[in-house]
Structure 1
Amino acid sequence: MVVIAVLDGGDGDGPARRFAAAGAAGLLIADPRPGVAEDLAAALDRTGCPVAGVSSDIHQPSDIAALVDTAEKHLGRIDLFCVAGPDGERIVALADLPGDLDRLAELLDPLGEAIGEVLPAQRRAPSGSAVR
């Protein structure tokens, strides 16, 4: 199952369609723009690849925690977390994360890096500061 988190200026349509076509077991699409993820989910939802969409902003750890909880309750175990930003996409494979840490804590650092990789340089937070 894949979580696709869209950042301001990013687009989840391309990665969502690619993951669905590649046979993903399910998709959870999160977009900060109200209604966008929900509309895309409705267009892609099908037997064998259930798709859910939520309005959410992953800059906050609480939003990431809510996404993880929603995904696992309704769609199953998360395999990949894709961050789609204005400068492209970054995929974090959960199998690559250490198995002995808290799952949310494991996600925060790679997702912070992923966000940094797909945001234009002028929108990145100064080194050592919070993402938002």
Structure 2
Amino acid sequence: MRVAGAVVVIAVLEGGSGIGLARRFSAAGAAGMLIADQRPGVAEDLATELDRPGCPVVGVSGDARQPSDVAALVATAAKHLGPIDLFCVAGPDGERILPLAELPDHLDPLAELLAQIGDAISEVIPRQRGVHISH
């Protein structure tokens, strides 16, 4: 996976943290990052900390579990940073990185991205245990 020169979106889920991931991408030479966190102000503060010449960083509030928010993240990243190369999901149990170059050209890129994000989220969110009530 090539990080140098890449535009990266990092979507942080509840209980996750994108701080380490964002710092690693910045150090590896990313060309720009958009960081989205469900908690207001968190992504914006991190963007302010990491923003530098050659790697602009945009921070926004957003929920990667909502298709409308993902569409807005993609549009915002494209507007401010250019085409996205990597889409990352950071959850309470880890991280998942999706290289967008692997998306099939013949499919609707956003629909395919949403499907892959759904798969990535299911990998990084803790498995929910069923609640059993005894009578």
Normalised by the size of structure 2, how large is the TM-score? 0.89
Measure how far apart 1:122 and its partner are. 1.6
**2:16 corresponding residue in structure 1:** 10
The structure with more radius of gyration: 2
1:114 positional shift: 0.3
- Equivalent position amino acid for 1:59 in 2: R
- Report the counterpart of residue 59 of structure 1 in structure 2: 65
Query: Which ranges of structure 1 fall in alignment gaps of 5 or more residues?
Result: 124-132
How far off its partner does 1:100 sit?
A: 1.3
- 2:111 is the counterpart of 1:105: yes
> Secondary structure at the residue paired with 1:23?
coil
Q: What does the per-residue CA deviation read over 1:47-90, in whole Å, with 9 as the maximum and x for residues that have no partner?
A: 00000000000111100000000000111110000000000000
Match of 1:74 in 2: 80
Q: Pick from 97, 101, 111 the counterpart of residue 95 of structure 1.
A: 101
Note the aligned Cα RMSD (angstroms): 0.8
Q: Distance in 2 between matches of 1:83 and 1:106?
A: 15
Q: CA deviation at 1:109?
A: 1.0
The residue aligned with 1:129 is none
Once the two structures are TM-superposed, the CA of residue 101 in structure 1 deviates from its matched residue by: 1.4
Number of aligned residues:
123
**Which amino acid letter does the alignment assign opposite residue 78 of structure 2?**
E
Q: Distance in 2 between matches of 1:65 and 1:94?
A: 14
Q: Percent identity?
A: 74
Question: Equivalent of 1:119, from 114, 120, 125?
Answer: 125
After TM superposition, give the deviation of residue 23 of structure 1 in Å.
0.2
Mapped to 1, the partners of 2:106 and 2:70 lie a distance apart of 19
* Helix, strand or coil at the partner of 1:121: coil
Partner of 1:35: 41
